[in-house]
Structure 1
Amino acid sequence: MPSSNTQDDDQPLAMRNSRATLTRLLDNMIEAPEKLESITGIIHAVFGETRAIMVLDMSGFSRTTQRLGVTAFLLMVHQMKLLAMPAIEENGGLLIKAEADNLFCLFDETDDAIRASRAIMRQLAAASIILPEERRLYASIGIGYGAILNIEDEDIFGDEMNLACKLGEDIADRGQILLTEAAKATLTLTRVETRPEQISISGLSLDYHMVV
């Protein structure tokens, strides 16, 4: 997948995808609230994309850190990233950022994100066979699909991003791949089976789908 930051040489500097552009536009919103709607349109035109979002969360951060120390867990995070990156890149994915024990990636389609997710799970399972039990690598993954704001291929914002984070970090058990309703709706892989699930969070019901 080509980077969203590939800029047309003829594009005005003030309208290029950059944090400086976003900051200026947000400042304009504050200074001219009557222009909020038009500036919002500009922000979506400059930064908006429709993508599949994959959020990977490693399992066992607190437990491993308490037992082995933070350096041991940092090593495990590094190993996880080394094992995950080939699957991400081979399926056209782009690593947007790695924070603590999380990876945030973009793909063109939900199918690509699922292929990468399954390959990552296989790689982690294979590597863990030869690792001591306390250093085995486990992860959970949430996948969303929809409109986002992509800031310089370094940060992403949007409802589907938030839902993918919720699924990957808070709801999925280790080894699970969960899809938002929007991601499930765009799934076309015939050999991928899913099961609908629902969970109540703060009095609200969240529907999602588990890859089985």
Structure 2
Amino acid sequence: MSESPLKRNSKSNLERLLQEMLDRPASEAEITREIEEEFGETRAVLALDMSGFSRTTQRRGIVAFLLMIHQMKRIARPVIEANDGIVVKAEADNLFCLLETTTGAIKAAREIIGRLETVNLVLPEDRRLYASIGIGWGRILNVDERDLFGDEVNLASKLGEDVAEKNQILLTQAAQAIAAQSGLDTREASVSISGLTLNYYQLV
């Protein structure tokens, strides 16, 4: 029985190409181009982080917070999909999503926060759901819609997890440059993280 061919943008194929790069150092540039061709996409990245993980876990235990994460996913996923996006992966209290456009990512982010605010009206205070969101735009590597890599992925994650406060939507410089074409109102700011200065924009 013949071996099944590897799916072009699969994790297995990526690992094969990376191993080839180690085995054939002289071909690094050629293999790099092949990886970028097979896995590369220009997309909007939305990184969502739930606020209050440590506080809620200490008060109510990890199972209670897992329930809140589950509820967050049930709210966020259909919003992402309705805006031509996909939830690529969920890690702890974070969601990483890809969308076709920055406009769609911003629309989805605003709708998610709006739905959370509505849900919070009927939830007890210690079970209320809050999100911090970072949005990037640019070239990324999409591994079978199960993992993603790239500078804008890292920047959006930093903004969503480390910089944004609850209910804030922050944009990378690349995402803001696209959003500005639609006349969206943003406020520029910067922050120092690990010795690096990160410039970003907050939706207002």
Measured against the shorter chain, the TM-score band is over 0.9
| Counterpart position of 1:70 | 62
Q: TM-score, normalised by structure 1?
A: 0.92
| Counterpart position of 1:85 | 77
Q: Give the fraction of aligned pairs with identical amino acids, expressed as a percent.
A: 56
| Counterpart position of 1:119 | 111
CA distance in structure 2 between the aligned counterparts of 1:201 and 1:151, rounded to whole angstroms: 28
CA distance in structure 1 between the aligned counterparts of 2:50 and 2:65, rounded to whole angstroms: 10
CA distance in structure 2 between the aligned counterparts of 1:71 and 1:36, rounded to whole angstroms: 46
Q: Give, in angstroms, the shift of residue 13 of structure 1.
A: 3.5
Q: How many residues align?
A: 200
Asked if the contact 1:15/1:46 (under 8 Å) is kept, the reply is no
| Counterpart position of 2:95 | 103
Tell me the SS of whatever aligns to 1:186: helix
Question: How is 1:160-171 mapped onto 2 (pairs within 5 angstroms)?
Answer: 160-171=152-163
Residue by residue, what CA displacement relative to the aligned partner does 1:16-46 show, whole Å, maximum 9, x if unpaired?
1111111111110011100000000000010
Unaligned runs of 5+ in 2: none
Residue by residue, what CA displacement relative to the aligned partner does 1:162-209 show, whole Å, maximum 9, x if unpaired?
00000000000000000000000111433x311001112233211100
CA distance in structure 2 between the aligned counterparts of 1:174 and 1:15, rounded to whole angstroms: 39
1:32 to 21, 24, 35: 24
CA distance in structure 1 between the aligned counterparts of 2:140 and 2:92, rounded to whole angstroms: 22
CA distance in structure 2 between the aligned counterparts of 1:39 and 1:69, rounded to whole angstroms: 47
Q: Say whether 1:41 aligns with 2:47.
A: no
Tell me the SS of whatever aligns to 1:13: coil
CA distance in structure 2 between the aligned counterparts of 1:15 and 1:42, rounded to whole angstroms: 14
The one-letter amino acid of 1:131's match is: L
Q: TM-score, normalised by structure 2?
A: 0.95
Tell me the SS of whatever aligns to 2:182: coil
Asked if the contact 2:136/2:153 (under 8 Å) is kept, the reply is yes
| Counterpart position of 2:182 | 189
Residue by residue, what CA displacement relative to the aligned partner does 1:76-96 show, whole Å, maximum 9, x if unpaired?
111111111221111111110
Q: Say whether 1:199 aligns with 2:191.
A: yes
Unaligned runs of 5+ in 1: 1-11
| Counterpart position of 2:127 | 135
Asked if the contact 1:177/1:210 (under 8 Å) is kept, the reply is yes
Tell me the SS of whatever aligns to 1:148: strand
| Counterpart position of 1:7 | none
CA RMSD of aligned residues (A): 1.2
| Counterpart position of 2:169 | 177
